[in-house]
Amino acid sequence: MMNWEIIDTHAKQWVKEAGERIRSSFKSKLNIETKSNPNDLVTNIDKEIEQFFIQHIKEVYPEHKIMGEEGFGDELQTLDGVVWIIDPIDGTMNFIHQQRNFAISIGIYENGVGKIGLIYDVVHDELYHAIRGEGAYINGKPIPVLKETPINEAILALNATWVVENRRIDHNLLIPLVKDARGTRSYGTAALELVFLATGRVDAYFSMRLAPWDVAAGAVILEELGGVVTNLRGEKLDFLSRNSLLAAKPGLHQSILKDYLKGGQW
Ligand code: IPD
Ligand code: CA
Ligand code: CA
Ligand code: CA
């Protein structure tokens, strides 16, 4: 039997320590590189923090596997066993330009099932956290379960680029959704957008394409609170590949799928 409480205690301790390292890095000059395109950025700190986690995990849990955005983890073909899915800095562009609006995100999965979710808003020192079946917490304080909200009272989190012409979805489908919602917000960090949904600051979040490390932790936290997390077709996410995402309060998830997205091609 896996002792999730102990794993959780370790994970929390490492996340806090990593947060301290990131805060200290504000004083030094960043080394910024680009990845797939000129706006896809990575810094020495993203890489250092991922390596920091890997070193600790491998030392204490040599049998666990690691999937990390910056590629220092294992090459995984399956999600068998215990897998740590790590985004060392979610919101790297914000980290570089704003020194805020970014987070550390860690989901711990067993045979593909989310067991622990940790999202640390480093600048605000806010740790969002859940162990499957035990509720979700912010700095140790229970987060209330989510209540239903109709679309005309809902704030949608989305990246504005999805509503202008793009190659992943007929953007005309999204226009009525954006018109009917009370408002839209775009924070540029999937992990924080998911915990803003968990805490009711937004009511739904969607994206055409996210990686497993953007969503793994947030999904565990949200599902503890009755939130619903699927792709834009309403199907379960595959944590071995990239997915579209619709995460929303109960009820609202159903109505966005049925009233707005049904029949769309993506
Ligand atoms: C990005 C952020 C952003 C989302 C991108 C992600 P990163 O993660 O979560 O909000 O729109 O798709 O790649 O690269 O900053 O870890
Ligand atoms: Ca990135
Ligand atoms: Ca990310
Ligand atoms: Ca990242």
pLDDT at 266: 61
Give the pLDDT confidence of 200-238 residue by residue, as tens digits.
Answer: 999 999 999 999 999 999 999 999 999 999 999 999 999
pTM: predicted TM-score of the whole model, two decimal places? 0.96
CA torsion sign for 45, 22, 138, 10 is positive
Q: Which atom of ligand 1 is nearest to the CA of 93?
A: 15
Give the pLDDT confidence of 66-112 residue by residue, as tens digits.
Answer: 999 999 999 999 999 999 999 999 999 999 999 999 999 999 999 99
Confidence class for position 263, pLDDT limits 50, 70, 90: low
The set of residues, in sequence order, having a beta carbon less than 8 Å from that of 3 and lying 6+ positions away, is: none
Q: Which atom of ligand 1 is nearest to the CA of 87?
A: 16
Give the pLDDT confidence of 20-61 residue by residue, as tens digits.
Answer: 999 999 999 999 999 999 999 999 999 999 999 999 999 999
Q: Is 87 labelled as part of a ligand binding site?
A: yes
Q: How far is the CA of 6 from the centre of ligand 3 (A)?
A: 26
pLDDT at 166: 73
Give the pLDDT confidence of 147-172 residue by residue, as tens digits.
Answer: 999 999 999 999 988 888 777 777 78
The set of residues, in sequence order, having a beta carbon less than 8 Å from that of 49 and lying 6+ positions away, is: 18, 21, 22, 88, 89, 104
pLDDT at 165: 74
Residues with catalytic annotation?
69, 87, 89-90, 92, 214
Instruction: Show the domains of the chain with their CATH numbers.
Output: 4-142 (3.30.540.10), 151-261 (3.40.190.80)
Q: Quote the tokens at residue 162.
A: 């999805």
For ligand 1, which residues put their CB under 6 angstroms from it?
69, 87, 90-92, 159, 188-190, 207, 210, 214
Spatial distance between the Cα atoms of 11 and 23, rounded to a whole number of angstroms: 18
The set of residues, in sequence order, having a beta carbon less than 8 Å from that of 35 and lying 6+ positions away, is: 41, 42
Q: Is 238 labelled as part of a ligand binding site?
A: no
CA 141 to chain centre: 20
203 secondary structure, DSSP code: S
